[in-house]
Amino acid sequence: MDFFSFDADYVRRLTEGDAETERHFVSYFSPLLLIKLKQRLRSREELEDLRQEVFLRVLRSLRQGPGVERPECLGAYVHSICNNVVLEYLRGQAKSEQWDEHTDEPRDPAVSIERELVTEERSRKLRSLIDEMAPKDRLLLRAIFLEERDKDAVCREQGVGRDYLRVLLHRAKKRFRHLLQEAQAGTVRPATNFSDLSQRP
């Protein structure tokens, strides 16, 4: 698997508005921002708004403001902007909720987000992965991620420790990558498929 590092040339191209670099930048950080924001926010709408706000601020800072001093730290820079955006938003929310007794009920951010993280190809491989799993492991995944039950209780019921969950995920991740690599080796993919660019600048 190829990995990507940011450098001065990348930041320069991003600052100058190079289309390919912008596409890569957005595709690289979109899922990371989504994953991070999902841990803190309630609704899909909030996630989308804040993610867009982060991109806006980063690009504005690069093009009109101080930008990033150390190009290799672009990721950390995006992360810090994201933190600022979240904090500002949560402060604003706290203020408004003091006055608004009719705040909407929290909504499940999981709804439809799965579809964003899981592309069709990956979904097929994921299906294979889950089908390969031992029934007990499937049951663990279901209880923890779908039913969102208490992890300790689930582990007790199944006679496993918490470490087992981490190892289960770790193995699943390795197997998942293997399945994806197999699929990629067996197909010629179009050059416009952006999932390639997310890993290969």
Partner 1 sequence: MRGSIVNHDEAVAAMAAERYVLGELQDAEREQFEEHFFGCPECAQDVRDLATITDGARELLREPRKAAPKQKAPAPAGLWGWLRLSPSYAMAGALAASLLAGVTGYAGYEVAQLRGGIRPQAVDSFLLRPETRGEAAEIPVHRIGSFLLFEADVPGATGEVQWDLARAGSQKLIEHQSAPAPQQGASFKVLLPASVLPPGDYTLTVRSTSNTTELGLFKFKITANGG
- Rounding to the nearest 10 degrees, give the CA dihedral for residues 158, 177, 180, 182: -110
Residue 160 near residue 188 (C-beta atoms within 8 A): no
Residue list 143-182, contact with partner 1 (CB under 8 A): 144-146, 151, 162, 165-166, 169-170, 172-173, 176-177
If binding is defined by CB under 8 A, does position 128 make contact with partner 1? no
User: Alpha-carbon distance 111 to 109, whole Å?
Assistant: 5
Min dist. Cβ of residue 100 to partner 1 (A) = 8
Provide DSSP, 110-149: TTTHHHHHS-HHHHHHHHHHHHHS-HHHHHHHIIIIIS--
Interface with partner 1 (CB under 8 A), residue from 9, 12, 107, 110: 110
Interface with partner 1 (CB under 8 A), residue from 62, 78, 154, 179: 78
Interface with partner 1 (CB under 8 A), residue from 1, 134, 185, 188: 1
How many residues belong to the site for partner 1 (CB under 8 A)? 87
Token readout for 113 is 């987000």
Length of the chain measured in residues? 201
If binding is defined by CB under 8 A, does position 113 make contact with partner 1? yes
Single-letter code of the amino acid located at 142? R
- List b or e across 138-151, with b for residues whose CB sees 16 or more CB atoms inside 10 angstroms: eebbebbeeeeeee
If binding is defined by CB under 8 A, does position 79 make contact with partner 1? yes
Min dist. Cβ of residue 2 to partner 1 (A) = 9
With respect to partner 1, which residue has the nearer C-beta, 90 or 159? 90
Min dist. Cβ of residue 182 to partner 1 (A) = 15
